[in-house]
Amino acid sequence: MQSNTPEKDYRLATIQKMSKLLDNQFKIGKFKFGIDPILNIIPVAGDFVGFIMSILLIITMIKHGASGKLVFKMVRNAALDALVGTIPILGTIFDFGFKANARNVKLLQEHYTQNMHHGSAANEIKKLILWVLIFGFVILIVVVYLSYLLFDWIIKNPESFF
């Protein structure tokens, strides 16, 4: 399909409306937000509903020709939004600023209009694995260090522990 066909323009407009509802529907001053961060005020259920809505939006984009590489980037955005969203208070604040659905629509627009984000997700998956390994290694170092501090404290203060 050509990027300027009426059918593609209609589909893109529909996806943009759904994204706007989720991320930018309301405005207070210069600050825009949608129902996604409002839903996330409800612990767990709000995050779950917001994530499902994001995934439905991604499925719609897949049906309209999103490449594997593009889908990977969109799922990564939705997953990051959902994971950080589970952290009380910080997650809600993050959700007001991150706007995963708006980011995904921008990616889709770039895909349609600028011929970007085509191809396989293989390289993106390799990058993700590398970042997960680095993050896991950092977490391991922190846990080992905190364990060392705890055992050191126990050895120096046995009367406090026993």
Domain coordinates in residue numbering, the chain: 6-119, 121-162
> 161: which 2 tokens?
């522990």
Quick one: pLDDT at residue 121? 67
| Higher-pLDDT residue of 2, 125 | 125
For the ranges 57-71, 84-98, 105-119, 142-156, the one whose mean pLDDT is highest: 142-156
Average pLDDT over every residue of 94-110: 87
Distance CA 83, CA 80 (A): 5
Contacts of 69 (CB under 8 A, 6+ apart): 117, 118, 119, 120, 121, 123, 124
Distance CA 100, CA 24 (A): 11
Lowest mean pLDDT among 33-47, 92-106, 110-124: 110-124
pLDDT digits 0-9 by tens, 19-73: 888 888 899 888 888 888 888 778 777 778 878 888 888 888 788 777 888 888 8
| Higher-pLDDT residue of 62, 76 | 76
Quick one: pLDDT at residue 44? 75
Give ∠ CA 124-93-135 in degrees, rounded to 5: 35
Cα–Cα distance list, 59 to 15, 74, 162 (Å)? 11, 10, 56
Quick one: pLDDT at residue 5? 59
For residues 19 and 102, is the Cβ–Cβ distance under 8 A? yes
| % of the chain residues with pLDDT over 70 | 91
Torsion region of 84: left, alpha or beta (phi above 0 gives left; psi -120 to 50 gives alpha): alpha
Quick one: pLDDT at residue 109? 82
Tokens 């589909």 — which residue? 11
pTM to 2 decimal places: 0.65
Residue 92 neighbours by CB distance under 10 Å: 19
Lowest mean pLDDT among 9-18, 27-36, 139-148: 9-18
| Higher-pLDDT residue of 14, 90 | 90
